[in-house]
Structure 1
């Protein structure tokens, strides 16, 4: 397998060199070089031939050396809210663990979930989907839920490397992210789409309409499919450890530090839930929570814990991940790809089903090259033209983007998936065991089902 990975990366690197020095007429020199560099970077992320942070550094360095975009664009990831949301997520997770809350909650849930492996995975999905309705960030949901799931996993005998550990990790990562695409404020691409639609066309995407259109099929039914794939592909049997003397101690009343962490989390969650009213970015709220958890003498996260739990490699990956999207947009490469697909795809009025599939495919392909947040950034300015070509309403064209950016083939397309994969220490292969069949099921079953759902609602 390693040999084939090297061949793939080497082949793409050779192709990138050809593009760098012999750009095609359809692209500018910078666009051709960006395409080559992006393909190499994506192949390194997808194959895990080198650590993800090293692939990010390679992209950043070459983008700067070739002057593909100004330094402030290449380094934009370092001052993005996503970066600081990951930072605060690490500290929130560390605080929950160090205060003993994850252990305590895990112990309380063991008796209820130890009898059935499917019930355990279902419980993770249920909690994550409920959180998606109140928390605006998939990374925030993940970092809040993962320490509890990890403690529960240990209680149920799912050691590192077992099917059980892989199953609970994958369930947490996917459940905290994919259903959120169907709830307007719950994921970043959704918000970019809503903001761009309002800014460019004056179209307001409402919460209720967005949820009614996407949540039943792409939220609930897709979650059931992911649940089934995880249970079938990673079967295991919980083997809870016998209670020992330590269990008795955990039944004692909460200590003052645990109450302090609960208070910090409650205030943080309250601000996250009400962000629509006060307008404070969830990342800045997370930084304030981090300060509370780091406060000497009060917070549970000591300086040595800070060094241990804050993963700088993940930060570098996130910076590179966001840099890819920023450079692709800055060079106009995403628009070139989308416009090329516009001429290739069979778009014409009166062919609603074909148009629906074609627009969804366009969003999917753009998401592979420019990563998910780049989909609405690239396609929204083209929506009016696509509406004229297909005869579909402008809002319908905009909404097809959701199908495209919620269909993920590779983990590198999504920062929450990559962060979750690294934090839970899951190999790329485990993620692909879910993503590849899920993409096929989405294409051949959920897409037609979604089309008929839209027709039933009178949206097409």
Structure 2
């Protein structure tokens, strides 16, 4: 994330010093016995953010410290290994291996390149738009990552972008963020939205319709933020399409291995899209597809697939998810939010100020709870927030979508983490991009979102 080793060392030193202080002298508002938990969390987040040591090693240090100090039960600390995100990235790594090994990715890339525009910025925009379109088709963000990222990597290969080149990173980020960012404006397309709508109905008896939610959020959180995404990717990762035009190369006919891999991929896609019918989660579909690939070595994957498998992404995801589980178990996030609530500058009639406080408060809360924790904690506090702002209950809780769709660091968003690891995006580039995109979203998108909600009459005084 940080551009110079000296700055990385300085930030890490400050954070680690703060963690040590919190461990020995925890503030009074922390839940009893969570000083060590807070210290470990702060130190782990600092090491992930600065990249001072390899991310997989940071995960191992987190496991070691959390178990040594017994900050949570082992089932919580190692929850990442039993999570669906861990298994979908495992399945995705095997599927991606099969796509590369059989040459199916190159074949698909050749077909796509014949239809993609000939300018670098337009290729990035088309990739992000494709990701957004899939958010309407597939409700599971994880499944979309497993499907889209290997294809984006194959397109980068076909265009001649080298490993860790700007063009390759940009294509992967466009696919990953393109399908994830816009999904927050589409009600059933990711977990935080489902948590929000479920809590609204179960706690407050308010049922939100698909088109109603889309009208509130898609024009700004969907369209405008996707435009910002494309502009930022092109500016931060400038590149040019190679002079050799890969579009002119007609792909050869698919061989037997490619057809077999294509059948596996098509079957997985069909099952992902129809999960509302059969109820099988995207992780287990990805795992089943991976098993099919592994049962046919030398045809769909290399002869020794596990020797070729990089376990670094798996350890990173397990550590990040374990950290989130420990934070949720400790109650630190909820305690911090409840502690701050009476001191927040709410004022009836000051609509813009109230929007800023609710949205930014949710962004801060997400650092300690990850994205699904914001609606899980915020929706039950709806009556309190409604009284403080003078807004109707539904109005104030609608703003939470801006909060839980804005994450400062990658660990807060497991789908982003999974997609970036599948696409081998360097951790520093991913962290830097995530933080800058979040900052610009707060500065540019939040005011537009407030203005839109006020214009359609959802906010009092609008």
TM-score, structure 1 normalization: 0.91
Equivalent residues of 1:139, 1:176 under 8 A apart: no
CA RMSD of aligned residues (A): 2.5
* 1:188 matched to 2:191: yes
User: Structure 2 CA distance, aligned partners of 1:14 and 1:440?
Assistant: 26
Note the alpha carbon deviations across 1:236-293, whole angstroms, 9 max, x for none.
221154779x967x422x3333333333222222222222233222212222222222
Equivalent residues of 1:124, 1:175 under 8 A apart: yes
Match of 1:133 in 2: 136
User: Structure 2 CA distance, aligned partners of 1:326 and 1:116?
Assistant: 43
**Structure 2, unpaired ranges of 5+:** none
Q: 2:173 aligns with which of 170, 177, 196?
A: 170
Match of 1:444 in 2: 443
Match of 1:304 in 2: 304
Equivalent residues of 1:182, 1:210 under 8 A apart: yes
Match of 1:256 in 2: 256
TM-score, structure 2 normalization: 0.91
User: Structure 1 CA distance, aligned partners of 2:443 and 2:75?
Assistant: 42
Note the alpha carbon deviations across 1:28-64, whole angstroms, 9 max, x for none.
3433222221111111010011121222222222222
* 1:235 matched to 2:206: no
**In terms of mean alpha carbon deviation, does 319-328 or 290-299 score higher?**
290-299
Note the alpha carbon deviations across 1:168-217, whole angstroms, 9 max, x for none.
23222221322222222222222222333333333333322222211210
User: Structure 1 CA distance, aligned partners of 2:297 and 2:160?
Assistant: 34
Instruction: Give the secondary-structure state (helix, strand or coil) at the position aligned to 1:159.
Output: coil
Match of 2:105 in 1: 102
User: Structure 1 CA distance, aligned partners of 2:66 and 2:168?
Assistant: 38
User: Structure 1 CA distance, aligned partners of 2:197 and 2:286?
Assistant: 23
Note the alpha carbon deviations across 1:340-388, whole angstroms, 9 max, x for none.
2312211243332222211111110011222223222332322232223
Change (3 A) 1:85 1:428: closer
Instruction: Give the secondary-structure state (helix, strand or coil) at the position aligned to 2:188.
Output: coil
* 1:243-392 pair list within 5 angstroms: 250-252=251-253, 254-296=254-296, 300-309=300-309, 311-392=310-391
Shift of 1:429: 4.2
Note the alpha carbon deviations across 1:362-419, whole angstroms, 9 max, x for none.
1100112222232223323222322232232333333222111211222232223333
Instruction: Give the secondary-structure state (helix, strand or coil) at the position aligned to 1:235.
Output: coil
Equivalent residues of 1:136, 1:282 under 8 A apart: no
Shift of 1:72: 1.6
* 1:396 matched to 2:399: no
Match of 1:13 in 2: 16
Note the alpha carbon deviations across 1:416-444, whole angstroms, 9 max, x for none.
33333344333344335533443333223
Change (3 A) 1:208 1:46: same
Shift of 1:77: 1.7
User: Structure 1 CA distance, aligned partners of 2:307 and 2:141?
Assistant: 24
User: Structure 2 CA distance, aligned partners of 1:376 and 1:307?
Assistant: 41
Equivalent residues of 1:133, 1:183 under 8 A apart: yes
User: Structure 2 CA distance, aligned partners of 1:306 and 1:396?
Assistant: 51
Equivalent residues of 1:110, 1:240 under 8 A apart: no
* 1:69-218 pair list within 5 angstroms: 69-113=72-116, 115-218=118-221
Equivalent residues of 2:158, 2:246 under 8 A apart: no
Shift of 1:131: 1.0
**Structure 1, unpaired ranges of 5+:** none
User: Structure 2 CA distance, aligned partners of 1:219 and 1:242?
Assistant: 32
Equivalent residues of 2:191, 2:372 under 8 A apart: yes
User: Structure 2 CA distance, aligned partners of 1:337 and 1:131?
Assistant: 36
Equivalent residues of 2:332, 2:368 under 8 A apart: no
Match of 2:58 in 1: 55
**In terms of mean alpha carbon deviation, does 113-122 or 212-221 score higher?**
113-122
Change (3 A) 1:281 1:162: closer
Change (3 A) 1:306 1:202: farther
Change (3 A) 1:183 1:19: same
Instruction: Give the secondary-structure state (helix, strand or coil) at the position aligned to 1:425.
Output: coil
User: Structure 2 CA distance, aligned partners of 1:97 and 1:392?
Assistant: 53
Aligned residues: 456
User: Structure 2 CA distance, aligned partners of 1:60 and 1:28?
Assistant: 21
User: Structure 1 CA distance, aligned partners of 2:55 and 2:378?
Assistant: 28
Match of 1:430 in 2: 429
User: Structure 2 CA distance, aligned partners of 1:155 and 1:16?
Assistant: 46
Change (3 A) 1:429 1:70: closer
